[in-house]
């Protein structure tokens, strides 16, 4: 596996693994990138894309801060179509490893931050990207939230979130 190739706009790296379904791609991202995201105290985010042969791949960015990162949904390899966004959510306790996290920890110490729920920004990202995607490719852009033990999908349109439970990455606290 390698993720040294850059996307055309240079905002993310392209993972070399390919998958049969969108969910397989997200599941891989959840298991491969979550532990590093947790250890670095930063969100990781990427786009799931579909190649002309029907296989799926992922992009990845690890340059976010504790509770936020940016993604360009259209920055995928040439000839592919974006189908979803995936991103990690880490608990506030993991944020203490970064400077931004220490500041957030001070601010959030009296709140119960729901790190296993979609934020308003997460839902807006999916909804806004979907407006363009529906016109261009005829499908919505769901967003997948990844924690150590869960994958959750938001598709908008008042559809219920779908949740899959999984084992934590090896040697990882829940």
- Burial grade of 15 (CB within 10 A; 0-12, 13-18, 19 or more): buried
Total domains, the chain:
1
- pLDDT, residue 26, reads 97
pTM: 0.85
Does 92 score more than 80 pLDDT? no
**Do residues 33 and 17 lie in contact, with contact meaning Cβ atoms separated by under 8 Å?**
no
Give me the mean pLDDT over the 28-34 stretch. Answer: 91
Under a CB-based contact definition with an 8 Å cutoff, are residues 65 and 43 in contact? yes
What are the strands, taking DSSP E only, across 23-169? 45-50, 56-60, 81-88, 143-146, 150-154, 162-165
172, part of any domain = no
Does 20 reside within a domain?
yes
Would you tell me how many other CB atoms lie within 10 Å of the CB of residue 128? 12
- Is 170 part of a structural domain of the chain? no
**Enclosing domain of residue 83:** 5-165
Over residues 96-111, mean pLDDT:
50
- 131 belongs to a structural domain: yes
33 inside domain: yes
Tokens representing residue 41 in the block: 């105290």
Taking residues 100-111, report their average pLDDT: 48
Q: Looking at residues 115-133, what average pLDDT do you find?
A: 86
Whether the CA torsion 53, 70, 163, 168 is positive or negative: it is positive
Distance separating alpha carbons of residues 102 and 117, to the nearest angstrom: 21
Mean pLDDT of 33-44: 87
Taking Cα atoms as reference points, which of 49, 55, 56 lies closest to residue 83? 49
Does residue 173 sit within a domain?
A: no
Is the pLDDT reported for residue 101 higher than 50? no
- Which has more pLDDT, 148 or 67? 148
Residue 153 lies in a domain: yes
Residue 72 has pLDDT above 70, yes or no: yes
Instruction: Check: CB of residue 131 under 8 Å from CB of residue 157.
Output: no
Question: Residue 158 pLDDT > 60, yes or no?
Answer: yes
């Amino acid at each position: 596996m390698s993720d040294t190739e850059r996307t055309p706009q240079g905002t993310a790296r392209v993972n070399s693994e390919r998958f049969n379904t969108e969910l397989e791609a997200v599941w891989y991202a959840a298991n491969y990138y979550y532990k590093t995201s947790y250890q670095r105290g930063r969100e990781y985010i990427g786009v799931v894309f579909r190649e002309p042969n029907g296989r799926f791949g992922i992009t990845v960015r690890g340059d976010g801060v504790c509770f936020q990162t940016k993604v360009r949904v259209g920055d995928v390899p040439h000839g592919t179509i974006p189908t979803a966004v995936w991103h990690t959510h880490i608990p506030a306790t993991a944020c203490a490893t970064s400077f931004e996290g220490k500041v957030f920890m001070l601010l959030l110490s009296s709140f119960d931050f729901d790190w296993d729920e979609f934020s308003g920004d997460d839902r807006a990202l999916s909804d806004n990207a979907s407006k363009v995607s529906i016109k261009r490719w005829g499908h919505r852009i769901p967003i997948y939230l990844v924690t150590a033990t869960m994958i959750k999908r938001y598709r908008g349109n008042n559809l219920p979130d779908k949740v899959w439970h999984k084992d934590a990455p090896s040697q990882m606290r829940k």
